[in-house]
Amino acid sequence: MRATPDFDFALGESALMIRDTVARFADERIAPLAAKVDAEDWFPRDLWPEMGALGLHGMTVEEEWGGIGLGYLEHVIAVEEVSRASASVGLSYGAHSNLCVNQIRRWGTDAQKARYLPGLISGEQVGSLAMSEVGAGSDVVGMKLKAESVSGGFQLNGTKFWITNGTCADTLVVYAKTGEGSKGITAFLIEKGMAGFSIGQKIDKMGMRGSPTCELVFDDCFVPEENVMGPLHGGVGVLMSGLDYERVVLSGLQLGIMQACLDTVIPYLRERKQFGKPIGAFQLMQAKVADMYVALQSARAYVYAVARACDAGQTTRFDAAGAILLASENAFRVSGEAVQALGGAGYTKDWPVERYLRDAKLLDIGAGTNEIRRMLIGRELIGAV
């Protein structure tokens, strides 16, 4: 149950229906698993078909391809509600439904959509996207995974790193070098079980535990020509066009974390007594809750507005970066205040706020660091080269 009143953002009937449906599912099926997911670094794959049955994996996919044909606003809200119950599940869900499914929907051929979307949308399969490498994070063009043209397709050699859902993915969108510079990168569709493709080390993370992150290894991995997604050598365009939507959709993670913080803190302040009265009666604690609430609602307003712009085809790269910048920094601050509000209890594993703090930190770094986001926003606004 939310501890804060609803605010009318004029989201529309579809978005409100999605919020209500996903919130119920998250409360009933995801929230009871959240502590186990974190403590055991466990990915609850059994949830995927259940989420598929609700239409969550094909949010932005047209009905003709098995989706429900809604927009990025509804997708943000779905990620928000899942993440309110478990940000780890929310991260894996966003990586599956947006980074993988939505990219195939936007760039795949009809044959590729027919082959890969049904299993991904139903939740029978898990999807992933692989861009980053040990030496290529913010510097995308610096990637080293090489795709050499051979008879009938390409042969991939190299590694990817920091790959969300990598250990459990059946279908992956993978970027590799097919030439030099920014015009020498191509997107490929990789399947689990392809010869020469394997999982390397699993990464033990501070937060978002249960959303598996790993290394991918390509050793003379043959990929048929029909698995090239988008233009040959046009992978940077595929990648960057998707990054704007990724940033907006993943902002929902931070909204969900902030709501979870308030849902924990407000009842605690009403019940916990010191000096003979609830600590919520003290103005310092009231001010803390006020700041947390305003941080959440201001981030919501910006994220929802940019998601609407995405749906109208009017988003800008700097606003997509700005939305996740505001949401990520607000979420880390709000989760820190949640720990502080609970005092010693907040610093223990007995309460979930320490998990919220660990989880919130990821998106200061992932989907482009806040430093890169600021650089992008400033450069775009000033018009600097």
Where in the sequence numbering do the catalytic residues fall? 246
CB 369 within 8 Å of CB 329: no
Helix axes of 317-342 and 353-360: crossing angle, nearest 10 degrees: 150
Residue closest to 187 by CA, chosen among 106, 245, 121: 106
Q: Tokens representing 206? A: 């501070």
Helix axes of 283-311 and 235-271: crossing angle, nearest 10 degrees: 150
State how far the Cα of 181 lies from the Cα of 119, in Å rounded to an integer.
Answer: 34
CB 145 within 8 Å of CB 158: yes
- Radius of gyration for the chain, computed over Cα atoms and rounded to the nearest angstrom: 21
State how far the Cα of 69 lies from the Cα of 75, in Å rounded to an integer.
Answer: 11
Q: What count of residues does the chain have?
A: 385
Residue closest to 304 by CA, chosen among 350, 348, 254: 254
3-state secondary structure of 138: coil
Element holding 305 (H helix, E strand): helix 283-311
3-state secondary structure of 351: coil
Pairing, β 171-177 against β 127-130: parallel
Residue closest to 337 by CA, chosen among 269, 252, 244: 269
DSSP 200-214: EEEP--SSSTTS-EE
Element holding 337 (H helix, E strand): helix 317-342
